[in-house]
């Protein structure tokens, strides 16, 4: 049986790889390629964040009864990530490499800290408290698609 942690940790890796690639393209001033790759990065991030916010977090909150605990912190950090991604998008439109790389560095630090909390605390907790629902939750996360 697939663990929630295993599935979502893979998402983290894919998103991180795409962000690194976009940063590389921006640093080389390969603007069109960077814009294309950035769109893919944003789609992957949006999908990952939505999987958590629409499937995982509500399931955890329903079982634990906690709505102002770890999931609230994660949602707040997701909002910070989205804000940084918007800043990056604006700077990419204007080919402002330094501004883009400054925001992406901040985003990368935030993502690393965020992922550590999820992978070491939230996901193991989810695997434990949702143990009887784990196959269904993993399937719902896997099958989740943005409208």
Map out the domains of the chain with their CATH numbers: 4-142 (1.20.120.520)
Sign of CA dihedral 93, 109, 144, 52: negative
- What pLDDT is recorded for position 145? 84
Structure tokens at 42: 């944003």
Q: How far apart are CA 2 and CA 61, in angstroms?
A: 21
Q: How far apart are CA 147 and CA 144, in angstroms?
A: 9
- What pLDDT is recorded for position 146? 78
- What pLDDT is recorded for position 147? 66
- Averages of pLDDT over each 10 residues, the chain, 147 residues: 87 96 97 96 97 97 92 97 97 95 97 96 95 92 85
What's the DSSP call for residue 3?
-
Q: How far apart are CA 79 and CA 105, in angstroms?
A: 17
Q: How far apart are CA 19 and CA 104, in angstroms?
A: 8
Its pTM stands at 0.93
| Cβ neighbours of residue 59 closer than 8 Å, sequence gap 6 or more | 126, 130, 133, 137
Cβ proximity of 119 and 12 under 8 Å: yes
């Amino acid at each position: 049986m697939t663990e929630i942690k295993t599935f979502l940790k893979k998402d983290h890796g894919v998103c991180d790889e795409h962000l690194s690639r976009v940063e590389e393209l921006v640093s080389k001033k390969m603007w069109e390629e960077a814009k294309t790759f950035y769109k893919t990065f944003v789609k992957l991030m949006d999908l990952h964040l939505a999987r958590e916010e629409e499937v995982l977090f509500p399931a955890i909150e329903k079982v634990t009864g906690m709505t102002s605990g770890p999931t609230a912190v994660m949602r707040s950090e997701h909002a910070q990530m989205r804000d940084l991604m918007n800043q990056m998008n604006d700077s990419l439109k204007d080919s402002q490499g330094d501004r883009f790389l400054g925001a992406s560095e901040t985003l990368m630090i935030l993502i690393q800290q965020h992922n550590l909390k999820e992978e070491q605390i939230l996901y193991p907790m989810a695997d434990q408290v949702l143990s009887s629902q784990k196959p269904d939750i993993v399937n719902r996360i896997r099958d989740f698609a943005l409208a």
